[in-house]
Amino acid sequence: MKTIRITGIAFVGALATTMHAQTYKVLAYLSGTPSTPVEPGLIAQSPGGNLMTTASDQDTDLRGVAFRVTTEGVVTVLHEFSKPEGVLPASGLTLARDGRSYGTTVFGGASNTGTVFQMTPDGIAKTLHQFSGAPDGNPYAPPVQSLYGDFYGTTYGNDNDPSSAPGTIYKIDSAGNYTLLHTFTVQDGANPLGALVQGVNYWFYGTAMHGGPSSVGTIFRISTSGEFQVLYNFDYSHGGYPMAMIQANDGNFYGVTYLGGASNQGVVFKLTGLNQITVLHEFTGGSDGGGPLGGFLQGSDRSLYGTTGSGGSMGGGTRFRMSPTTGGIEVLHSFHAASGLAPIALMQHTDGFFYGATNADGVSNGMNDLGVIFRLDMGLSPFATFLNTYGRAGMTVSLLGDGFDTASEVFFSGVPATEISDVGSSFMKVVIPEGATTGPITVTTTKGTLTSNKVFVVRP
């Protein structure tokens, strides 16, 4: 079995240029504390409208930190991790409906096999669970919140010997009550790396980077009760070593693989409800990039956006946009030493801009740094978004946006919400009104009316 080890991936590249008129800007150079962002972790938008994520750092022997970046690029370290509470926070952070962030550490804790933690917006961290070791431990992905408020996540296990610890799927709540739902067998997958996503049919979907009949990964789903199904076994021609997936507005799942395809540089794939795989694009390692490491999403314009860890015009990786219907790809930025190498994280803020992190380089004051936080302006308008995937009348939804105040009005497909609370300039909680139907959420603000970037599904 060929194993792709996830341990501080870095690539070497030379000078490249922005390919189009889109505006790319380095917001912050990372050197010292924090330094290298580790692996394809998630960047969360905080209730205050800032960016929040995690990184390793040289000043604390790679134990790692959680940090905040304003949209102007001001970096503030919120928390320094220690071995008892967990070290090497590779997951990044996910924002939950309670306004706190959740993440994992790869190592540390009582058995040195990682932890699950929650963190307040000002950096007060609490360990929710300490993994006990094989087969359950070493998580790379953050847990994601379900419709009912608990969290589901995966552990990566041991990629040196997946047969001994191929990884697991677990459930945990905000009080730390932990349930092991599934242990991988290698044949059904091994070493899940990316975060799970809850589909509109309630199941959680994910990918395992290794395992399956060809040893190059699987796509799976699991129910809230632990029923597990393999949906697809990768075979290298359709990609190998899959990263995280997303569910797009059309109901299909989209994702990338690190390798495989005609040039062995990875692919973009689509998974339909019939569990059929379509390869939308095969990376060549040339101008379109190669080796996508993560950072894949659907933008507010309905296009797919992603990154590659290598390739591009001068080898430092790319930032691309793709049509989910035609598979046409457009390179938006080719990374180089000054702008950072090997992009690994990507998100779209409700201000319309895209933000991300690179795994290496960035040059400031004549010094090589250890990664950057960047912004890309695609000319997209501000929007609102929600943290629930879907809900029912009477349930509470948390909204993110900009320009909220106590006079703001919220509508679910035109039906007004009457119960609004915890209102800040970029965060509020709203109860789904009776009569609400599936469709967009709109919010009146001091800056105009914001429409949600995706359809909110109302369940009967």
Q: Is 141 in the same domain as 262? A: yes
Q: Is 323 in the same domain as 452? A: no
Average pLDDT over residues 372-392: 91
pLDDT of 339 over the 90 cut: no
Name every residue whose Cβ is closer than 8 Å to that of residue 228 and which is 6 or more positions away in sequence: 169, 181, 182, 188, 220, 221, 222
The string of pLDDT tens digits covering residues 160-170 is 777 788 999 99
Q: Is 288 in the same domain as 145? A: yes
Q: Is 257 in the same domain as 398? A: no
Question: pLDDT value at position 385?
Answer: 96
End-to-end CA distance of the chain: 47
Q: Is 292 in the same domain as 428? A: no
The CATH number of whichever domain residue 299 belongs to comes to: 2.130.10.10
The CATH number of whichever domain residue 437 belongs to comes to: 2.60.40.10
- Whether residue 7 is contained in a domain is answered as no
Q: Is 208 in the same domain as 339? A: yes
Q: Is 357 in the same domain as 417? A: no
Q: Which amino acid type is present at position 3? A: T
CA–centroid distance for 22 within its chain:
23
Mean pLDDT of the chain: 89
Instruction: Provide the number of structural domains found in the chain.
Output: 2
As given in the structure block, the two tokens for residue 80 are: 């320094």
pLDDT of 201 over the 50 cut: yes
Q: Which amino acid type is present at position 26? A: V
Q: Is 216 in the same domain as 344? A: yes
Q: Is 324 in the same domain as 404? A: no
Q: Is 324 in the same domain as 432? A: no
- Whether residue 218 is contained in a domain is answered as yes
The string of pLDDT tens digits covering residues 42-99 is 999 999 999 999 987 655 566 889 999 999 999 999 999 998 999 999 899 999 998 9
pTM: 0.91
Domain boundary (354, 377, 400) is at: 377
As given in the structure block, the two tokens for residue 194 are: 């990316």
Query: Per-residue confidence at 9, pLDDT binned at 50, 70, 90?
Result: very low
Range of the domain at 81: 23-377
Query: Per-residue confidence at 31, pLDDT binned at 50, 70, 90?
Result: confident
Domain boundary (377, 409, 432) is at: 377
As given in the structure block, the two tokens for residue 88 are: 């090497």
Q: Is 322 in the same domain as 403? A: no
pLDDT of 367 over the 60 cut: no
126-146 exposure pattern, b = at least 16 Cβ within 10 A, e = fewer: ebbbbbeebbbbbbbbbbbbb
Q: Virtual CA dihedral for 81, 87, 88, 92, nearest 10 degrees?
A: -60
- Whether residue 419 is contained in a domain is answered as yes
pLDDT of 366 over the 80 cut: no
Domain boundary (318, 353, 377) is at: 377
Q: Left if phi > 0, otherwise alpha if psi is -120 to 50, otherwise beta: which for 289?
A: left
Q: Is 321 in the same domain as 410? A: no
Return d(Cα 326, Cα 270) in angstroms, integer: 12
70-94 exposure pattern, b = at least 16 Cβ within 10 A, e = fewer: ebebebebbbbbeeebbbbbbbbbb
The string of pLDDT tens digits covering residues 228-265 is 999 999 999 999 999 989 999 999 999 999 999 999 99
